[in-house]
Amino acid sequence: MRRAMATAEVGDDVFGEDPTTNRLQERVAELLGKDAALFVPSGTMGNQLALAVQATAGDEVIVDQESHILHYETGAPSLIARVQLRSAPLQEQPARACQVLTDLVRPEAYYYPRTRGVCIENTHNRFSGAIMPLEPVQQIGRWCAERGLFLHCDGARLWNASVATGIPPAVYAAPCTTVMVCLSKGLGAPVGSIVAGPEDLIAEARRWRKMLGGGMRQSGVLSAAGLYALDQHLERLAEDHRRAKEFAQSIVEEFELMLDPPPTNIVLFRSRRGVDTEHLLEQLASSGVLVSPGPPGWLRAVFHLDISDDDLAAAIAMLHRIHRDLCGKHSLAMNT
C-alpha cells in the first residue's frame, strides 16, 4: 500500500485533475451503482455533506437512536446542515422501521419542522456490527421515495455487510439517495471515505467539501491507498468476521454478548459477574489488549487486518486472566 502511495500519479484535485483520485471516485461510484462519487477526508465529513446537500436549515432528519451521526459526530448536523435530528429505534427491529417512521413524520403545519429525510447505518457500530437486512432497506427506500424524502446510508462498514452476506454493495445502496463508505476501518487505508449519489448532489457536495476545508491538492497519494485497499483487502474482511466469532465463542461463558454470534467484525460484551467495565478496560489496555468503550456498560472489540490468529489467542487469554482476577477482587469486596 505504501509503495502504491509513493508511486501514485497525481494532479490537482481542487480542479478535478488528479487522475488517481478520479479513478477511485469512478471505481466506488460503480461499486455502489451511483452516478458520481467524491473522495473526502473522513466518514463524518461524508455524512455531513450528504445532509448539507439534501436538507435546508430548520429541517428535521430521522436517524436511528444509536447511530454514529447522532452520537459521534459532535453535533455537526446542527452546525453544518443546520438541521435537527429526531431519533428512534429504526434498526433494532428493522421489519418495523417503516411503521416507526410513519409515526415520526411531522404533520404539515407551520409550527413543525419539515421532515426532510432518513439516515440508516449499515453495518451498525453501536449494535455490535449488525447488518440491516436488504428487505427493510428496500422498504425504507420505497417509503422515502413515496414521500419525497431522501434516504442516506452511513455505510462506513457497508463492505462488511456485503462480504458477510454475498450481496453486492450496489444492491444495498440502490434504495438510498446517497451513501458514504469508508476506505479506512476494515479496508485498512490510512485515511479517506467516499460519498456517492446523483451527479447534481455530488457536484454540490464538492462545493461543501471546499467550504469545510476538505479540498486537497495532490490527493492521489491518499486515493492510491484506497484503490489498493479495494483490490487487496475487500474479500479478506471475512477473516475479521471469523476472528470476531471465535473471540465471542471463547468468552461467552464469562461475558454477555450483545449479539451472539456477532454478524461481522464488532463484538460488544460485558461481564456476567458485574465487573466494572471501565476498570476492565484500563486493565486490558495496560496489558496491551486495546478495546474501546461501547454503549454504556459495554466493551467493544473490533477485528481488522492488523490482528492475526496469534493476536486473537493472546487477547482471549489475557481477557480471561484479567477478568478472573477482577472477579476475585469483586467477590472479596462484596464480602467485606
User: What is the pLDDT tens value at each position of the chain, 336 positions in all?
Assistant: 999 999 999 999 999 999 999 999 999 999 999 999 999 999 999 999 999 999 999 999 999 999 999 999 999 999 999 999 999 999 888 999 999 999 999 999 999 999 999 999 999 999 999 999 999 999 999 999 999 999 999 999 999 999 999 999 999 999 999 999 999 999 999 999 999 999 999 999 999 999 999 999 999 999 999 999 999 999 999 999 999 999 999 999 999 999 999 999 999 999 999 999 999 999 999 999 999 999 999 999 999 999 999 999 999 999 999 999 999 865 555 545
* 113, 241: one domain: no
* 241, 215: one domain: no
Q: Is the dihedral of CA 6, 8, 9, 14 positive or negative?
A: negative
pLDDT of residue 334: 52
**Residue that is last in its domain, among 232, 264, 286:** 232
**Residue that is last in its domain, among 184, 216, 232:** 232
* 40, 55: one domain: yes
Cell of 325: 482476577
**Residue that is last in its domain, among 232, 265, 299:** 232
* 191, 313: one domain: no
DSSP state for residue 105 in the 8-state scheme: S
- Write the CATH number for 67: 3.40.640.10
pLDDT of residue 328: 81
Tally of domains within the chain: 2
Based on the number of CB atoms within 10 Å of its own CB, is 170 exposed (0-12), middle (13-18) or buried (19 or more)? middle
- Determine the structural domain holding residue 322 and report its residue range: 237-334
* 274, 178: one domain: no
Instruction: Name the nearest CA neighbour of 151 among 69, 28, 62, 76.
Output: 62
- Write the CATH number for 265: 3.90.1150.10
pLDDT of residue 92: 84
* 108, 35: one domain: yes
Q: State CA 134 to chain mean position distance.
A: 17
Look up the pTM and report it.
0.95
Cell of 335: 464480602
Q: State CA 178 to chain mean position distance.
A: 14
Q: How far apart are CA 255 and CA 202, in angstroms?
A: 45
* 313, 172: one domain: no
pLDDT of residue 330: 56
* 68, 199: one domain: yes
pLDDT of residue 43: 98
* 276, 194: one domain: no
* 188, 285: one domain: no
pLDDT of residue 229: 98
Whether 179 contacts 155, CB under 8 Å: yes
* 6, 146: one domain: yes
pLDDT of residue 93: 87
* 70, 161: one domain: yes
Instruction: Name the nearest CA neighbour of 44 among 23, 90, 75, 89.
Output: 75
